[in-house]
Amino acid sequence: MPFDKDTIRLALTRVAHPTLGTDIVSAGAVSKIAYCDGYASVRLAAAGLHDDQRRGLTQQVTAAVRLGAHQNNEPLHDVHVELTDDKPQMLPASEAKPGQAVAGPPAGRAGAPAPGAQATGIPGVKHIIAVGAGKGGVGKSTVSVNLAVGLARRGHRVGLMDGDIYGPSLPTMLGLGALDPVVTGNKIEPFFVHGVRAMTIGKLVEPEKPLIWRGPMAHGAFKQLVEQTNWTGGPGELDYLIIDLPPGTGDVSLTLAQILRLTGAIVVCTPQKVAQDDAVRAVRMFQQLHIEVLGVVENMSFFIGDDGKEYDIFGRGGAQMMAQRLGVPFLGALPINMALRERSDSGDPTGNFEDKTPRNAPTSEALEKLVTSVEAQAALAAIRSGQMTPSLKIL
């Protein structure tokens, strides 16, 4: 996808207007967009905004444009944001483009309360991010594990919860086989592996025992993992808690929305159409639950053989086009190769980042890009929700 004015406009739909309860594009606050040879310019109608709101808006717009450029592999030299004293012209619903928000009250502010209206965060946890998928087998757990390890390698304090209570994968993917759970008081101590604090139902039940649970039992098990794990003990607070959800749109996802205030959700999809159909349902589920969708990850985007040759087995780019159609960010594409499969089976996700051989380089580079995209989207989502305030670093 070329990086141009339309791409920038799409990126700006992720920036909330400080007072109008919608994004700045739908609010009619974007009066001009220009882009040429790595230089972007955005003009905004900002009548009625005080100085702090103007500064915050400028920083959010700059961050959104830079993120859009990063996602499209476009070198960006500078972003100029001009604020005028003109009044925004609200965009009527009849003029909205597909995937673009329209003017109106924010979700959950009018009528029935949002499903997560009474949800709270976990004390001491800055960002809670759910990783979901419309169907099984698309690599949701692979993305969750490697995202958590990648964030930890950048110095973040990270927790990883295996919320897939019917088919927990973390015991294998993190190499937890020889470890036993420890209980302190009424709290379960998370395992500390690969720089990540992890907890999974798979270490609290017999290894080969099938988890045949109806809805209330699944609700209770998930709630126990969230509330009775000592996430912030020991080394201190968490910057990120990644929650690997079961596939589909069932009880656990609803429980998540009811008990936790999330920074947002990530949807994992493989390129083929049959996977996209279910991924769209997952995106719509999170939106219906008033959980912000941070973006889509295309897993198994292509296969890398031992000869280094790339094969588009499932049709590369399908999930990216789906994300563009839905108007949600595309966080990156991950390849699959023999080394990635071997490390998932042997519980060595750290090796996916440390192995710099030509055989593994496309995988490690794709994972690093994914981590960068998630960091940026989580920061923007936290600012929009009021959980964080913008900051400016002068180097």
357 is written with which tokens?
């051989």
Number of C-beta neighbours around residue 338 at 10 A: 13
What is the predicted pLDDT for the residue at 95? 42
Phi (first) and psi of residue 369, to 5 degrees: -65, -40
Residues 6 or more apart from 370 whose CB is under 8 A from it?
Answer: 143, 146, 147, 150, 297, 331, 332, 334
What is the predicted pLDDT for the residue at 118? 52
Number of C-beta neighbours around residue 135 at 10 A: 18
Bridge partners, residue 129, by sequence: 242, 264
Spatial CA neighbour of 139 closest among 272, 282, 336, 281: 336
Query: Do 335 and 297 form a contact (C-beta atoms < 8 A)?
Result: no
What is the predicted pLDDT for the residue at 145? 96
**pLDDT 10s per residue in the chain (395 long)?**
578 888 898 889 878 888 887 788 888 899 999 998 888 999 999 998 888 788 888 888 888 888 778 777 788 888 999 999 988 876 444 444 433 444 443 333 333 334 444 567 788 899 999 999 888 889 999 999 999 999 999 999 999 999 887 778 899 999 998 888 888 877 889 999 999 999 998 887 776 666 665 666 666 777 878 888 999 876 678 999 999 988 876 677 777 777 888 999 999 999 988 888 889 999 998 888 889 999 999 999 988 887 778 888 888 888 999 999 999 999 999 998 888 999 999 999 999 999 988 888 889 999 999 999 999 999 998 888 776 655 555 65
How big, in percent rounded to 5, are the helix, strand and coil portions of the chain? 35, 20, 45
What is the predicted pLDDT for the residue at 313? 83
What is the predicted pLDDT for the residue at 392? 56
pTM for this model (two decimals): 0.69
What is the predicted pLDDT for the residue at 366? 94
17 is written with which tokens?
């207007």
Q: Measure the CA–CA gap between 369 and 359, rounded to whole angstroms.
A: 18
Query: Do 294 and 329 form a contact (C-beta atoms < 8 A)?
Result: yes
What is the predicted pLDDT for the residue at 26? 86
Bridge partners, residue 363, by sequence: none
Residues 6 or more apart from 394 whose CB is under 8 A from it?
Answer: none
